[in-house]
Amino acid sequence: MKAEAVGLSASRLARLDEIMKRRYVDSGRLPGVLTMVYRRGALAHTGMSGSMDLERDKPMREDAIFRIYSMSKPITAVALMMLVEEGALGLDDDVAVHIPAWKNLGVYATGMPSIVPAGEPAFLTTPVARPMKVVDLVTHTSGLTYGFMNRTSVDRAYRRAGVAEFNTEGGLDAMIEQLSRLPLEFSPGTAWNYSVSIDVMGYLVQKLSGMSFGEFLRKRLFEPLGMNDTGFWCPPEKIGRLASCYQPKPGGGLLLQDDADRSTYAAAPGLESGGGGMVSTAHDYMRFCRMLLGGGTLDDVQILSPKTVALFSLNHLPGNKELADMAPPGLFSEAGYAGIGFSIGCGVNIDVARTRLPGTLGEFFWGGAAATAFWVDPKEDLAVVFMTQVIGSDARLTLRRDLRTLVYSAMTESYA
């Protein structure tokens, strides 16, 4: 399908590839890139450059398998919404209805286990202003956190407990038990904090479906959608397609962070992390995006109702606030904050002018720690998937800015 047939310029899409290669691959900031653009029922563009494995001099390939980290979150959100549609739970349910051990969680006031005398409570807490709701998990307003934030005593307690680590013995059940002993960072609904909330959603899917989380995803989502290379680990017969992962080297260039041939993703994890544990291909993830772009249906397979998918284009933060209004200063995220709200497990554009980028109200998106990214723009009938593999890149948000600018500047027709 020629790009011009779906309202895109082939020459401008070629410019996208040239700039991404020159600015990010040739400069040594990324090992390689793979970009897919889908519009109006057709894969309009696939561009790639660089390498999927620098040590073995393996060029980037379309079927390369990537660690998608937090791009796992929207997949988990879809799984949860499938159970919402089936009446297993509601977004306004108290989380304690489904996790009774969390009924008396309080908000951190003071204390650390390492300095509290034996036999005394490890933490002093204050009561929550209201109970945690399922929607608070969906929007990261739950009061939970991530240990890697390195901001607060609660973050430190998560690190000491190893909350949500992939090698957790006992998996998601053990994670829930760990969290039952730790305080909340804030009262639910009062702030936005990137957190293990989506991993908790994976636990709810597991508990309410009666299957392991991975089994639910495989049977109810991946196999029906033909996402045959997506899961929580890369089996031996596919290791040759797994990209190596890198990190920036002081002074420039890249250091090997996770060698594909000896990857931590070469074996099934102890904990199936719906917040950041999946691997996938650009083709698989585009099929996921196409399902959402199609109102919940792809190739006559219905995963969600169009009315449920419409919720992904709405801001579910309290009072229609932006992330900028609710997130602590300097907080790690996969998005800039201005003009952005939060929908069902991903960010959503609620003020195009405030983002200072081309875009569309209601487009939803997210990214992963290895600098991967996607977005779905229902009004423009557009989906974009971008893959690379660098952890801790200072170019992560900048390259997403460039990607967005270059894709939208390739449009010759707009429907929004």
Model confidence pLDDT, tens digit, residues 279-296: 999 999 999 999 999 999
Spatial neighbors of 33 by CB under 8 A, at least 6 apart, are: 20, 21, 24, 25, 47, 48, 49, 50, 60, 386, 387, 388
Please give the C-alpha separations between residue 141 and each of 41, 193, 295, in angstroms, as whole numbers. Answer: 35, 6, 26
Per-residue pLDDT at 330: 66
Cα–Cα distance measured from residue 56 to residue 186, given in angstroms and rounded to the nearest whole number: 47
Q: DSSP secondary-structure letter at 180?
A: T
| Average pLDDT score, the chain | 94
Paired residues of 373 in beta bridges? 367, 386
Per-residue pLDDT at 333: 64
Which has the closest alpha carbon to 378: 290, 298, 299?
290
- Find out whether 90 and 135 touch, Cβ atoms under 8 Å: no
Cα–Cα distance measured from residue 44 to residue 3, given in angstroms and rounded to the nearest whole number: 5
377-397: average pLDDT: 94
In this model, does residue 409 exceed pLDDT 60? Answer: yes
More confidently predicted of 363 and 331: 363
Which has the closest alpha carbon to 72: 315, 367, 393, 386?
367
More confidently predicted of 153 and 287: 287
Task: Judge residue 12's burial from the number of C-beta atoms within 10 Å of its C-beta, 0-12 exposed, 13-18 middle, 19 or more buried.
Answer: middle
Per-residue pLDDT at 122: 75
In this model, does residue 325 exceed pLDDT 60? Answer: yes
Spatial neighbors of 349 by CB under 8 A, at least 6 apart, are: 339, 340, 341, 355, 359, 360, 361, 362, 363, 364, 365
Report residue 361 CA to chain centroid gap.
20
What is the b/e burial string over 45-76, where b = at least 16 CB atoms within 10 angstroms of the residue's CB?
Answer: bbbbbbbbbbeeebebeeebbbbbbbbbbbbb
Cα–Cα distance measured from residue 289 to residue 293, given in angstroms and rounded to the nearest whole number: 6
For 191-225, the pLDDT digits (tens) are 999 999 999 999 999 999 999 999 999 999 999 99
Per-residue pLDDT at 110: 86
For 78-129, the pLDDT digits (tens) are 999 999 999 999 999 999 999 999 999 999 998 765 444 444 457 899 999 9
Identity (one letter) of the amino acid at 310? A
3-class SS of residue 367: strand
**Model-level pTM?**
0.95
Position 149 confidence tier, pLDDT thresholds 50, 70, 90: confident
Residue 241: phi and psi, rounded to 5, are: -100, -5
| Half-sphere exposure at residue 393, Cβ-oriented, CA atoms within 13 angstroms | 29
Residue written as tokens 């790690």? Answer: 332
Domain boundaries in the chain?
80-200
